[in-house]
Amino acid sequence: MRKAHLLVAAALLLAPAAVFADGTTASFLKLGSGARATGLGGAYTAVSGDINSISYNPAGLASLKKSEAGFTRAELVDGVSYNFLGYSQPAAKGTLGLGVNYLGQSSIEGRGVNREATGAFQASDTAINLAYARQITARSGVGLNFKYITSRIAGESASGWAVDAGWQYRMPVKGLGLGFSVQNLGPKMKFLDEGSALPLTASAGAGYSLLDNVLLSLDVSRQVNEKKTVFSFGSEYAVFNSLFMRAGYLASSTTGGSGITDVGGFKAGFGLKLKGFNLDYAVTPFGDIGKAHRLSLGAGF
Protein backbone atom coordinates (compact mmCIF):
# COMPACT_ATOMS: atom_id res chain seq x y z
CA MET A 1 0.00 0.00 0.00
CA ARG A 2 2.86 2.38 0.79
CA LYS A 3 4.25 1.82 -2.70
CA ALA A 4 0.86 2.45 -4.29
CA HIS A 5 0.45 5.67 -2.31
CA LEU A 6 3.86 6.88 -3.45
CA LEU A 7 3.16 6.05 -7.08
CA VAL A 8 -0.06 8.03 -6.96
CA ALA A 9 1.75 10.86 -5.17
CA ALA A 10 4.39 10.90 -7.88
CA ALA A 11 1.69 11.00 -10.55
CA LEU A 12 0.03 13.96 -8.83
CA LEU A 13 3.36 15.75 -8.62
CA LEU A 14 3.85 15.40 -12.35
CA ALA A 15 0.25 15.97 -13.40
CA PRO A 16 0.21 19.81 -13.23
CA ALA A 17 2.70 19.94 -16.11
CA ALA A 18 2.83 17.25 -18.74
CA VAL A 19 6.35 18.43 -19.55
CA PHE A 20 7.58 16.76 -16.37
CA ALA A 21 6.88 13.20 -17.47
CA ASP A 22 9.18 11.31 -19.83
CA GLY A 23 10.75 7.91 -20.30
CA THR A 24 13.83 8.65 -18.21
CA THR A 25 14.52 9.65 -14.65
CA ALA A 26 16.36 12.74 -13.34
CA SER A 27 15.20 14.75 -16.34
CA PHE A 28 16.03 17.90 -14.36
CA LEU A 29 19.61 17.29 -15.55
CA LYS A 30 18.51 18.69 -18.93
CA LEU A 31 17.67 22.08 -17.42
CA GLY A 32 21.23 23.40 -17.75
CA SER A 33 22.02 26.42 -15.62
CA GLY A 34 22.99 29.94 -16.74
CA ALA A 35 20.52 32.44 -18.18
CA ARG A 36 22.95 33.30 -20.98
CA ALA A 37 22.82 29.75 -22.32
CA THR A 38 19.04 29.73 -21.98
CA GLY A 39 18.77 32.99 -23.93
CA LEU A 40 20.81 31.32 -26.69
CA GLY A 41 18.24 28.55 -26.94
CA GLY A 42 20.55 26.13 -25.14
CA ALA A 43 23.04 26.18 -28.05
CA TYR A 44 26.06 26.33 -25.73
CA THR A 45 28.18 23.27 -26.47
CA ALA A 46 30.77 25.14 -28.53
CA VAL A 47 30.61 28.60 -26.93
CA SER A 48 30.55 27.77 -23.21
CA GLY A 49 33.48 29.31 -21.40
CA ASP A 50 32.26 30.15 -17.90
CA ILE A 51 31.17 28.43 -14.71
CA ASN A 52 28.01 27.20 -16.45
CA SER A 53 30.17 24.97 -18.66
CA ILE A 54 29.65 22.39 -15.90
CA SER A 55 26.06 22.00 -17.09
CA TYR A 56 26.68 22.00 -20.86
CA ASN A 57 30.24 21.06 -21.79
CA PRO A 58 32.91 20.69 -19.10
CA ALA A 59 35.63 21.41 -21.69
CA GLY A 60 34.57 25.07 -21.54
CA LEU A 61 36.22 25.35 -18.13
CA ALA A 62 39.63 24.86 -19.75
CA SER A 63 39.61 28.39 -21.17
CA LEU A 64 39.07 30.11 -17.81
CA LYS A 65 42.00 32.29 -16.73
CA LYS A 66 40.69 33.25 -13.28
CA SER A 67 38.40 31.96 -10.57
CA GLU A 68 34.71 32.30 -11.18
CA ALA A 69 31.53 31.89 -9.13
CA GLY A 70 27.96 31.81 -10.37
CA PHE A 71 24.39 31.43 -9.15
CA THR A 72 21.23 30.79 -11.16
CA ARG A 73 17.63 30.92 -10.01
CA ALA A 74 14.73 29.81 -12.21
CA GLU A 75 11.02 29.95 -11.45
CA LEU A 76 9.50 27.20 -13.59
CA VAL A 77 5.90 26.73 -12.50
CA ASP A 78 3.93 27.54 -9.38
CA GLY A 79 5.79 25.98 -6.46
CA VAL A 80 8.64 24.58 -8.57
CA SER A 81 12.02 26.33 -8.57
CA TYR A 82 15.44 25.43 -9.90
CA ASN A 83 18.84 26.60 -8.62
CA PHE A 84 22.47 26.21 -9.60
CA LEU A 85 25.52 27.26 -7.59
CA GLY A 86 29.02 26.81 -8.95
CA TYR A 87 32.66 27.72 -8.44
CA SER A 88 35.74 27.16 -10.60
CA GLN A 89 39.45 27.53 -9.85
CA PRO A 90 42.28 27.43 -12.41
CA ALA A 91 45.21 25.30 -11.28
CA ALA A 92 48.69 24.53 -12.59
CA LYS A 93 47.51 21.70 -14.83
CA GLY A 94 43.92 22.56 -15.57
CA THR A 95 40.73 24.00 -14.06
CA LEU A 96 38.63 22.50 -11.29
CA GLY A 97 34.90 23.14 -11.00
CA LEU A 98 32.30 22.40 -8.35
CA GLY A 99 28.58 22.85 -8.82
CA VAL A 100 25.21 21.93 -7.30
CA ASN A 101 21.93 21.71 -9.22
CA TYR A 102 18.72 21.64 -7.17
CA LEU A 103 15.11 21.31 -8.31
CA GLY A 104 12.63 21.82 -5.49
CA GLN A 105 8.87 21.38 -5.19
CA SER A 106 6.88 22.98 -2.38
CA SER A 107 4.43 20.93 -0.34
CA ILE A 108 1.86 18.99 -2.36
CA GLU A 109 -1.37 17.47 -1.12
CA GLY A 110 -0.95 13.69 -1.25
CA ARG A 111 -3.66 11.30 -2.39
CA GLY A 112 -4.06 7.55 -1.96
CA VAL A 113 -5.15 4.94 -4.49
CA ASN A 114 -8.80 5.93 -3.93
CA ARG A 115 -8.03 9.67 -4.09
CA GLU A 116 -8.29 10.01 -0.30
CA ALA A 117 -6.10 12.66 1.34
CA THR A 118 -2.88 11.21 2.79
CA GLY A 119 -1.12 14.39 3.93
CA ALA A 120 1.29 16.78 2.30
CA PHE A 121 4.62 15.70 0.85
CA GLN A 122 7.61 17.29 -0.84
CA ALA A 123 9.86 16.35 -3.74
CA SER A 124 13.34 17.41 -4.82
CA ASP A 125 16.21 16.49 -7.14
CA THR A 126 19.88 17.27 -6.55
CA ALA A 127 23.08 16.80 -8.53
CA ILE A 128 26.53 17.47 -7.05
CA ASN A 129 29.15 18.04 -9.75
CA LEU A 130 32.94 17.80 -9.68
CA ALA A 131 34.56 18.83 -12.96
CA TYR A 132 38.07 19.01 -14.37
CA ALA A 133 39.23 20.51 -17.67
CA ARG A 134 42.51 21.35 -19.33
CA GLN A 135 43.94 22.63 -22.59
CA ILE A 136 45.55 19.86 -24.66
CA THR A 137 46.72 22.13 -27.50
CA ALA A 138 46.71 25.87 -28.10
CA ARG A 139 43.33 25.49 -29.83
CA SER A 140 41.57 22.66 -28.01
CA GLY A 141 40.49 21.64 -24.53
CA VAL A 142 38.81 18.63 -22.93
CA GLY A 143 36.84 18.18 -19.74
CA LEU A 144 35.15 15.64 -17.47
CA ASN A 145 32.36 16.10 -14.97
CA PHE A 146 31.42 13.54 -12.32
CA LYS A 147 27.99 13.94 -10.73
CA TYR A 148 26.18 12.32 -7.82
CA ILE A 149 22.39 12.44 -8.20
CA THR A 150 19.63 12.08 -5.63
CA SER A 151 15.85 12.25 -6.02
CA ARG A 152 13.42 12.39 -3.12
CA ILE A 153 9.65 12.20 -2.90
CA ALA A 154 7.41 11.60 0.10
CA GLY A 155 10.13 10.13 2.29
CA GLU A 156 11.51 7.81 -0.38
CA SER A 157 14.70 8.42 -2.33
CA ALA A 158 16.87 7.19 -5.16
CA SER A 159 20.50 7.92 -5.93
CA GLY A 160 22.95 7.35 -8.75
CA TRP A 161 25.97 8.71 -10.54
CA ALA A 162 26.87 9.86 -14.03
CA VAL A 163 29.76 11.25 -16.05
CA ASP A 164 29.90 14.02 -18.64
CA ALA A 165 32.75 14.41 -21.13
CA GLY A 166 33.41 17.23 -23.56
CA TRP A 167 35.75 18.73 -26.14
CA GLN A 168 36.09 22.21 -27.65
CA TYR A 169 38.20 23.37 -30.57
CA ARG A 170 38.91 26.85 -31.94
CA MET A 171 39.21 26.61 -35.70
CA PRO A 172 41.95 28.43 -37.64
CA VAL A 173 39.10 30.45 -39.16
CA LYS A 174 38.78 33.52 -36.96
CA GLY A 175 35.77 33.45 -34.65
CA LEU A 176 34.75 29.85 -35.39
CA GLY A 177 34.61 27.20 -32.67
CA LEU A 178 33.36 23.62 -32.44
CA GLY A 179 32.26 21.55 -29.48
CA PHE A 180 31.11 18.06 -28.58
CA SER A 181 29.79 16.63 -25.33
CA VAL A 182 28.27 13.46 -23.90
CA GLN A 183 26.15 13.99 -20.78
CA ASN A 184 24.65 11.72 -18.14
CA LEU A 185 26.50 8.54 -18.97
CA GLY A 186 25.77 6.21 -16.07
CA PRO A 187 23.67 3.30 -14.76
CA LYS A 188 19.93 3.35 -14.17
CA MET A 189 18.53 4.88 -11.02
CA LYS A 190 16.11 2.77 -8.98
CA PHE A 191 13.08 4.26 -7.26
CA LEU A 192 10.57 1.96 -5.54
CA ASP A 193 12.35 -1.04 -7.11
CA GLU A 194 11.79 0.35 -10.59
CA GLY A 195 14.90 1.24 -12.60
CA SER A 196 14.91 4.10 -15.12
CA ALA A 197 17.64 5.30 -17.44
CA LEU A 198 19.28 8.68 -17.12
CA PRO A 199 18.75 11.27 -19.89
CA LEU A 200 21.86 10.31 -21.88
CA THR A 201 22.56 13.07 -24.41
CA ALA A 202 25.19 13.54 -27.11
CA SER A 203 25.58 17.08 -28.47
CA ALA A 204 27.61 18.66 -31.25
CA GLY A 205 27.77 22.41 -31.68
CA ALA A 206 29.34 25.33 -33.48
CA GLY A 207 29.75 29.00 -32.61
CA TYR A 208 30.78 31.85 -34.85
CA SER A 209 31.63 35.44 -33.89
CA LEU A 210 30.93 38.14 -36.47
CA LEU A 211 32.36 41.65 -36.44
CA ASP A 212 33.38 41.21 -32.77
CA ASN A 213 29.87 42.03 -31.53
CA VAL A 214 27.62 39.28 -32.95
CA LEU A 215 27.65 35.63 -31.87
CA LEU A 216 25.77 32.85 -33.65
CA SER A 217 25.53 29.35 -32.19
CA LEU A 218 24.04 26.03 -33.24
CA ASP A 219 23.63 22.72 -31.39
CA VAL A 220 22.33 19.34 -32.50
CA SER A 221 21.60 17.00 -29.59
CA ARG A 222 20.56 13.37 -29.58
CA GLN A 223 18.60 12.28 -26.52
CA VAL A 224 19.59 8.64 -26.75
CA ASN A 225 17.13 6.91 -24.44
CA GLU A 226 14.19 9.06 -25.54
CA LYS A 227 15.16 8.50 -29.22
CA LYS A 228 14.82 12.20 -29.98
CA THR A 229 16.93 14.74 -31.81
CA VAL A 230 16.81 18.36 -30.67
CA PHE A 231 18.08 21.39 -32.60
CA SER A 232 18.88 24.70 -30.93
CA PHE A 233 19.94 28.04 -32.35
CA GLY A 234 21.20 31.14 -30.59
CA SER A 235 22.26 34.71 -31.32
CA GLU A 236 23.85 37.40 -29.18
CA TYR A 237 24.40 41.05 -30.05
CA ALA A 238 26.72 43.27 -28.02
CA VAL A 239 25.02 46.66 -28.02
CA PHE A 240 28.19 47.94 -26.36
CA ASN A 241 30.85 46.35 -24.18
CA SER A 242 28.59 45.83 -21.17
CA LEU A 243 25.11 45.18 -22.64
CA PHE A 244 24.14 42.05 -24.59
CA MET A 245 20.82 41.15 -26.21
CA ARG A 246 20.02 37.50 -26.93
CA ALA A 247 17.50 35.41 -28.81
CA GLY A 248 17.33 31.68 -29.44
CA TYR A 249 15.13 28.88 -30.60
CA LEU A 250 14.75 25.28 -29.48
CA ALA A 251 13.23 22.80 -31.91
CA SER A 252 12.66 19.05 -31.59
CA SER A 253 12.57 16.58 -34.45
CA THR A 254 9.52 14.98 -32.85
CA THR A 255 6.25 16.48 -31.67
CA GLY A 256 4.47 15.93 -28.40
CA GLY A 257 7.68 15.54 -26.42
CA SER A 258 7.29 15.33 -22.68
CA GLY A 259 10.74 15.86 -21.20
CA ILE A 260 11.21 18.56 -18.62
CA THR A 261 13.08 20.75 -21.12
CA ASP A 262 11.40 19.58 -24.32
CA VAL A 263 9.13 22.61 -24.57
CA GLY A 264 10.44 24.27 -27.71
CA GLY A 265 10.01 27.74 -29.07
CA PHE A 266 11.70 31.11 -28.93
CA LYS A 267 13.89 32.17 -26.02
CA ALA A 268 15.06 35.68 -25.23
CA GLY A 269 17.21 37.48 -22.72
CA PHE A 270 19.86 40.06 -21.97
CA GLY A 271 23.12 40.36 -20.07
CA LEU A 272 25.08 43.05 -18.26
CA LYS A 273 28.80 43.04 -17.50
CA LEU A 274 30.43 45.51 -15.16
CA LYS A 275 33.77 45.36 -13.36
CA GLY A 276 34.01 41.58 -13.27
CA PHE A 277 30.34 41.00 -12.43
CA ASN A 278 27.72 39.51 -14.74
CA LEU A 279 23.94 39.64 -14.57
CA ASP A 280 21.92 37.63 -17.08
CA TYR A 281 18.19 37.15 -17.55
CA ALA A 282 16.18 34.88 -19.85
CA VAL A 283 12.51 34.10 -20.40
CA THR A 284 11.33 30.89 -22.03
CA PRO A 285 7.97 29.30 -22.89
CA PHE A 286 6.85 26.50 -20.59
CA GLY A 287 4.05 24.77 -22.47
CA ASP A 288 0.47 25.65 -21.63
CA ILE A 289 1.53 26.81 -18.17
CA GLY A 290 3.05 30.09 -19.30
CA LYS A 291 6.62 31.33 -19.14
CA ALA A 292 9.65 30.44 -17.05
CA HIS A 293 12.06 33.14 -15.86
CA ARG A 294 15.74 32.61 -15.18
CA LEU A 295 18.21 34.98 -13.50
CA SER A 296 21.98 34.43 -13.16
CA LEU A 297 24.67 36.27 -11.24
CA GLY A 298 28.38 35.69 -11.84
CA ALA A 299 31.71 37.08 -10.74
CA GLY A 300 35.31 36.58 -11.83
CA PHE A 301 38.21 37.26 -9.48
Task: Encode pLDDT of 137-155 as tens digits.
Answer: 999 999 999 999 998 887 7
Mean pLDDT of 28-55: 94
pLDDT 10s digits, 222-267? 999 989 999 999 999 999 889 999 999 998 644 444 445 556 789 9
pLDDT 10s digits, 186-209? 998 887 777 889 999 999 999 999
Report residue 75's pLDDT band, with 50, 70 and 90 as the boundaries: confident
pLDDT for res 9: 36
Q: Is 245 exposed, middle or buried (CB count within 10 Å of its CB: 0-12, 13-18, 19+)?
A: middle
Cα separation, 34 vs 199, whole angstroms:
19
Per-domain boundaries in the chain: 2-300
pLDDT for res 153: 81
- 92 or 73, greater pLDDT: 73
Average pLDDT, the chain: 85
Report residue 122's pLDDT band, with 50, 70 and 90 as the boundaries: confident
* The Cα angle at residue 219 between residues 215 and 220, in degrees rounded to 5: 160
Cα separation, 127 vs 98, whole angstroms:
11
pLDDT for res 192: 73
pLDDT for res 191: 75
Phi first, then psi: what are they for 216, rounded to 5°?
-120, 135
pTM exceeds 0.95 for this model: no
Q: How far does the chain reach from its first CA to its final CA, in angstroms? A: 54
pLDDT for res 252: 67
CATH 2.40.160.60 fits 2-300, yes or no: yes
Mean pLDDT of 40-57: 95
